[in-house]
Amino acid sequence: MKKLLLIDADCGVDDAQAIMMALASPRVEVLGITCCYGNTLLENTCRNALRVLRICNKLQIPVFAGASAPILGGPLLGASFHGKDGLGDAPDPSAPGQELLQKEHAVNAILRIVNERPGQVSLVAIGPLTNLALAVKMDPTLPKKLRSLFIMGGNTESRGNITICGEFNFVTDPEAAYIVLNDYTCPTYIAAWEFTCSSLLPWDFYHEWVNQDTEKAKFMKKITAHSLQVSESHKETPGKREWASGFVSCDSYAMAAAIDENFITEASVIGVSVELNGSLTRGMMVMDWTDKLKKEHKAIVIKKCDLGKFQELMMAALK
């Protein structure tokens, strides 16, 4: 039996990498992609998801437009690391158009798809968690019908990549992250920022990866060129040298765990939440090491992984 995955993404470059990993795996079936704002505007993330599906010859997979802003509104800053359009500012004039998007809203699609296959679907959330938060508020029984939830987001050591103490996906919509970590009671796996940075791949692997003689690899090399330049500039920046010293595809770690839980070699089983009010810590994931929150539902926060298996999945994504 193949694993059934529903992917919620703000399709930037690393989202594209993660989605292509899933599409290439014989172990899973992707039921759909629900889009939200994040790395760029919703209009762009939807278009980007369609571009990824086209290069993989998978345009039959439905794409749904979802939340266009955080629950409480606020500025949409985006992540310049992936370019203004989310895919490295490498436009394709022949990219699939918005007419290929499904008419159904992403939140409604999440509820419908999970209800059609109770206990079988795993959600893979690799963007801000707004769609997931809205879905559980519309149907509080949703988590009981999920097989599992895989999240790329949050942090474990208060290291920020967008604010002093906050990771991008959680800081972009802290209320949504809080709702998801507290209301989703299905098995929940988290690939946090520090874990991805400590599991980076050598740049030699990156160059081998994007220089495979395939259309997928050519596409990936094109859309990652901008990010590569940014990473090069960060090698001399205090606080950013560590993660710029290798290739990090953040969202792909959560996807690898969703494809095969044996990818995870060490994890902490712990209660987690999100800080909403701190002047310096808003959006930071809270690790309840002393169990003061008394949470019955504990998350599986990934600490280490099988990098050999990860490289195999990454290489297969572009073949």
**DSSP code string of 126-178:** -S-SHHHHHHHHH-TTHHHH-SEEEEE---SS---SSSSS--HHHHHSHHHHH
Which pLDDT value is given to residue 245?
80
Domain with 253, as residue range(s), is 3-317
* Domain containing residue 36: CATH number: 3.90.245.10
Average pLDDT, the chain: 94
List active site positions. Answer: 10
Among the listed residues 182, 186, 190, the one whose alpha carbon sits nearest the alpha carbon of residue 142: 186
Provide the domain count of the chain: 1
For the stretch 14-53, pLDDT in tens is: 999 999 999 999 999 999 999 999 999 999 999 999 999 9
For the stretch 232-275, pLDDT in tens is: 766 666 556 565 688 999 999 999 999 999 999 999 999 999 99
